[in-house]
Structure 1
Amino acid sequence: MPRHIIEKRVTELMDLSGKKAIVTGSGGAGLGQAIANRLAGLGADVALVDVNEEGAKENARIVRERWGGTAIPFRADVSDWDEVHGVVAEARDALGGLDIMVNNPVMLVSGAFDTYTKDQLDYTVHGSLTMLMYGAHAALEHMLPVGHGRIINISSVGGRIQHRGLTVYNSAKSGVIGFTRNLAHEFVSRGISVLGVAPGIMVSEPLEKLVLNPPDEQMRIGRESMYESIRQYVQVGRASLPEEVANMVGYLSTEAADYMCGQTIDVAGGQYMN
């Protein structure tokens, strides 16, 4: 029993000083960079992995300047089995260990299911589920020999509800929730904690600017659709910032979440679907 936690503040349990974390999909302006920033703010040394090498470099620079810790960028296409295993090994060596692996894959095509091509279907499933499995497999290669580690998978609230035009994506994200639960069951006895986070409607700063000032008719229609979804289904009544979702990833990465196992936590403003 972890009786040492009884006299501690929750904030003390959320100290990640000395921990080593890898965050995939962290070269853009969305959730990946927010997660890297939150983990670094809690004291972790962070590897930022993305196919966008310049974006990963810039975000790592921002993290270092903001928090003064270690933030190392890596370029890799995590849709490729060999590349993701290679970059996890490289990042683990550069950081001096691997305690936390955050799988944050983003690749999808939206549209009515009957209009999908095989390539679009394969692309969405691969980018929303299979890539995440690759990352978890690569992390386990380094966590299992030392008998500890935490894997956090990014799903979506769409994995629990239904949306027209997102049948393939939402089904894949349902798979992420099931994968998280089953992976936790398989490896918790070997010291590996597996948890998930399911964002809802999330708006990064660049996307917010596009939404407020749509450059074309398609973006205007997308904005109205998003507004309608928020009005009808999001109880909080607004979209989230990536940082609000990253808050939960940060919490789940720490000792404060040690008694959680296999769960995927919605951070979606109470979003639901009738």
Structure 2
Amino acid sequence: MESDEQKWTQLLGLDRLPTDIIDKRVSDLLDLSGKKAIVTGAGGDGLGQATANRLAGSGADVALIGRTFSKVEKRANEIEKRWGVKAVPILADLSDWDQVHRAVRESKEALGGLDIMVNNPVMSVGGAFENHTKEDIDQTVLGSLTMMMYGAHAALEHFLPQGSGRIINIGAVGGRVQQKGLTVYCSCKAGVIGFTRNLAHEFASRGVNVLGVAPGIMIKPDMKEYILNPKDDRQRAGRDAILNSIQTQVQLGRVCLPEEVANMVAYLASDAANYMCGQTIDVAGGQWMG
């Protein structure tokens, strides 16, 4: 017969506490050596490539998925040379259900396993809501929310049978604050926060943990160029909106590098974040509703 001590040990999960971490350094827990990770939207100059670099720099083998093969191939070669891990480029249009599922299967086969899925779809449309066409709205929802769901579904096909895995959804602080000209986008990013929370609730008990990161205003080379040298009224309006946000909402008073956001992704992918679940962490310089 089970004793009271055994019963309560099981009920409280005392037999599942990670006691092995007690005498380790935090840096040991951040080590991803041996882990296999996918990063979507990884071919450009933004968060995708920065995240792939951070995970690889922590020891993980990575698959970089993007819709322009030459770009993800270039990034994969850079990563292998820099960090000495395996990095494989995978071609896929993240807006296509079948291509996403095929790309995740190919990534797992190429890496020899799958532990981490970083869901970083890249597509958005801005501008005044009253000027949006049906196509604008459909494209924004597809790129800002639906593609996230495609990627998570594809990863679960592999995580559920093995009873383990971590999905990290990339949202935006716009999911928590209002921003003019980004009504549809921000609404979708609020959806990403809800999707992350609900997906975690559904699958945590089956070994799959789901977390999210909400970046603020990240600066990329092309964005820096049009901010410093706007070529038309639209770019000038975009620059003014960014400046207004920095002056009225961002407490640190500056934009950020993609690498600063990627730091949080790498942390959430590691054993240091094992007791976090369903949360979306802002990395936005303290941006709030002004």
TM range (shorter): over 0.9
Pick aligned residue for 2:103 from 87, 99, 103: 87
Pick aligned residue for 2:254 from 229, 235, 238: 238
For structure 2, which runs of at least 5 residues remain unmatched after alignment?
1-16
Pick aligned residue for 1:67 from 78, 83, 87: 83
CA distance in 1, matches of 2:152, 2:131: 32
Pick aligned residue for 1:128 from 134, 144, 148: 144
1:96 and 2:79 matched: no
1:22 and 2:38 matched: yes
Q: Which residue of 2 aligns with 1:213?
A: 229
Q: Which residue of 1 aligns with 2:175?
A: 159
Amino acid in the other structure paired with 1:268 = A
Q: Which residue of 2 aligns with 1:188?
A: 204
Q: Partner of 2:211: helix, strand, or coil?
A: strand
CA distance in 1, matches of 2:234, 2:145: 27
Deviations 1:109-141 (A, max 9, x none): 112222211111111001100000000000000
Q: Which residue of 1 aligns with 2:3?
A: none
Deviations 1:131-154 (A, max 9, x none): 000000000000111110000000
1:109 and 2:125 matched: yes
Q: Partner of 1:196: helix, strand, or coil?
A: strand
Q: 1:210 to 1:112 in 2, by over 3 A?
A: closer
1:168 and 2:181 matched: no
Q: Which residue of 1 aligns with 2:244?
A: 228
Deviations 1:147-170 (A, max 9, x none): 100000000000011111111101
RMSD: 1.0
Amino acid in the other structure paired with 1:149 = G
**Structure 1 range deviating more: 107-116 or 73-82:** 107-116
CA distance in 1, matches of 2:69, 2:29: 33
The alpha carbon displacement at 1:228 in A equals 1.8
Q: Which residue of 1 aligns with 2:59?
A: 43
Deviations 1:212-250 (A, max 9, x none): 233344323322221121011100000010000000000
The alpha carbon displacement at 1:88 in A equals 0.2
CA distance in 1, matches of 2:42, 2:245: 27
Amino acid in the other structure paired with 1:25 = G
CA distance in 2, matches of 1:116, 1:205: 27
Scaled by the length of structure 2, the TM-score of the pair is: 0.92
For structure 1, which runs of at least 5 residues remain unmatched after alignment?
none
Pick aligned residue for 1:53 from 69, 73, 79: 69
Q: Which residue of 2 aligns with 1:250?
A: 266
Q: Partner of 1:266: helix, strand, or coil?
A: strand
The question of whether the paired residues in 2 share the 8 Å contact of 1:28 and 1:52 is answered with no
Pick aligned residue for 1:9 from 25, 44, 52: 25
1:198 and 2:195 matched: no
Greater C-alpha radius of gyration: 2
Deviations 1:180-217 (A, max 9, x none): 00000100011001000000111013322332233344
Question: What is the aligned length?
Answer: 274
